[in-house]
Amino acid sequence: MNIIWKYNPNGTIGEGVFMQLVNKTMRNINMALLVLAFPLISVAQSHATSQDVHEIIDICTSSERIMKDYALIGMKVTYHNPQKDLEETIKRLDEDMELLEKHHLAESLHEEEVALHKLWAEIEHNLTQTPNKENALELKHKVDAFAQKCEEVAEDLAKDTGNKAEHDVVLIARLNLDVQKLAGDYVMKAWDAISDDEYYKGVKEIKEDYEKTFEELENADDKLVSPKIKKHLKVVDKHFMMFEFMAESRSGRFVPQLIAKKANKINEETEKLLEEEEQEQEK
């Protein structure tokens, strides 16, 4: 804006013009301060929320559901349309990953999310190709590494919320994660894409992790995990017992359609459980 200097017979700037100069100067100072402060405002960091935790555990669980559908497609099993399920899982993972990265979290947490996204990009590239038994085991290892890293990020987000109950949310999700991983391994074994030694070793480790996690939740303070939630956990555990029996069998007979059905059922039950837990925290 151009200031018009008005002549004053007394040799001074007119009062009106002087006030214009003062006002403009103040505006310029305020603008300069705003510009200087903007970088600080734009990178303002906030603590993780319950929503962040729920989003990341959804990502973790979805990742372990991949191998079940991938192997079912490879086996040409059409039950429950695994191709459609796989496509929906990929889409969901993409959306959740992008959404989580947009949150203004602590720099260290953001870096973890970016690193996780890079791991996912590698996996997603492999999923665009026709399922191949020879490459399936390598893909499984990548998915397992992603899920493990994802759980670490989930724990870090849970801690950052400052709410102890969020740790138990991660544990509830871990039960489901174990189930979905076991289902994927089972179908991989039915497809003969994993050795007996690796498969049964994995089953043992998953079972131990599941039992340890379930026990921790069962013994958790009722203020953190309510009796209602614990009761529902026992329902999920009953589903797991049948699931576990099938996975440990050494009969050489596999029923991938049934294990897929059981895994989907447990996933649905866990999602309901997590919704209830979230509603309880909001009270």
pTM over 0.85: no
Q: What is the pLDDT of residues 182-207, one digit of tens each?
A: 999 999 999 999 999 999 999 999 99
Distance of alpha carbon 231 from alpha carbon 250, whole angstroms: 32
Distance of alpha carbon 53 from alpha carbon 163, whole angstroms: 11
Q: What is the pLDDT of residues 199-228, one digit of tens each?
A: 999 999 999 999 999 999 999 999 999 999
Q: In 3D, which of 191, 195, 204 has the Cα closest to residue 247?
A: 204
Q: What is the pLDDT of residues 83-119, one digit of tens each?
A: 999 999 999 999 998 888 888 788 899 899 999 999 9
Is 5 a residue whose pLDDT tops 90?
A: no
- Are 237 and 214 within 8 A, CB to CB? yes
Distance of alpha carbon 246 from alpha carbon 259, whole angstroms: 8
**Residue 80 pLDDT level (bands cut at 50, 70, 90):** confident
User: What residue spans define the domains of the chain?
Assistant: 51-282
- What is the predicted pLDDT for the residue at 17? 46
Distance of alpha carbon 17 from alpha carbon 21, whole angstroms: 6
Determine the average pLDDT of the residues in 24-44.
47
Distance of alpha carbon 268 from alpha carbon 246, whole angstroms: 20
